[in-house]
Amino acid sequence: MRSLPLPLALTARLAPVAVLATAGWALSSGPDTSPAAKDRTPPDTTDRSASAPATQAATKTYAAAPAPCESLAGKTVTSLVPDAEADGKEIPSTDADVRRTCSWNALKGYDYRWLDVSYEVMESDGAARKSFEGRVADRGGGGEVAGLGDEAYSVVNLTTEDKQQTREGTVLVRAANAVVMITYNGSDFESKKAPGTTEINKGAIKAAKEAVAALHDG
């Protein structure tokens, strides 16, 4: 996990199957051993079309993660993270085809906001589903987000450290063989309070919708 670049620690926070039909060659009196029978070649009854499902199963909906820093509109970034640079900062990845993350953060006056957009592309829908379910299990207390990807989950948590509150929203989305994760949090360093749950949750879901749309477009 990352650490915020501020004095206060805000670290609460990715053989085709062939069917062979065999013809019966035996007569009621026993096998035909005549010379003509020896020269016969059995007809090829292999169902060639049976290999098609295997080819389709191997096809991935998404082959690579899109550019995360281009996933959100500039006006979305500035509305969620005032005074942040719209370009964002991509986090180095060991495999950019599979996993990519972009971060935006800024302090405007005493209000601090942090936003992450992460993509992870997997080999199959099943692998993505397993990853999604595992991440959801680690973040209890949230709920389903209808109409977003194949399945989506949102949760908002409040933490307090050194009397400073931070509220963080997480939205997880599975779209076919990809998992999209949004992390959005904020603090007010003057009042020591955090933004409201509704504000953080709506902001995270808004970012998630654009991030999933970018996945489809990419």
pLDDT at residue number 217: 78
Which three-class secondary structure string do you get for the chain?
Answer: CCCCCCCCCCCCCCCCCCCCCCCCCCECCECCCCHHHHHCCCCCCCCHHHHHHHHHHHCCCCCCCCCHHHCCCHHHHHHHCCCCCCCCEEECCCCCCCEEEEEEEEEECCEEEEEEEEEEECCCHHHHHHHHHHHHHCCCCCEECCCCCCEEEEEEEEEEECCEEEEEEEEEEEECCEEEEEEEEEEECCCCCCCCHHHHHHHHHHHHHHHHHHHHHC
Domain layout of the chain by residue ranges: 60-217
pLDDT of residue 53 exceeding 50: no
CATH architecture designation of domain 60-217: 3-Layer(aba) Sandwich (3.40)
Q: How far is CA 216 from the centre of its chain?
A: 12
Q: How confident is the model over 35-46, as a mean pLDDT?
A: 50
Q: How confident is the model at residue 44 (pLDDT cuts 50, 70, 90)?
A: low
More confident residue, 5 or 152: 152
The answer to whether 170 and 207 are in contact (CB under 8 A) is no
Q: Mean pLDDT score of the chain, rounded to an integer?
A: 82
pTM: 0.74
Whether pLDDT at 99 is above 60: yes
Task: Quick: pLDDT tens for 133-189.
Answer: 999 999 999 999 999 999 999 999 999 999 999 999 999 999 999 999 999 999 999
111-139 pLDDT, tens digit each: 999 999 999 999 999 999 999 999 999 99
The pLDDT of residue 216 is 83
Percentage of the chain beyond pLDDT 90 is 69
> Is pLDDT at 79 greater than 90 in this prediction?
yes
Please work out, in degrees rounded to the nearest 5, the angle formed at the alpha carbon of residue 70 by the alpha carbons of 64 and 72: 115
Residue 29: predicted pLDDT: 36
At 36 the pLDDT is 47
pLDDT of 7 reads: 40
Average pLDDT over residues 10-24: 36
Rounded Cα–Cα distance for residues 207 and 71 (Å): 9
Query: What are the pLDDT digits (tens) for 54-74?
Result: 444 456 899 999 999 999 999
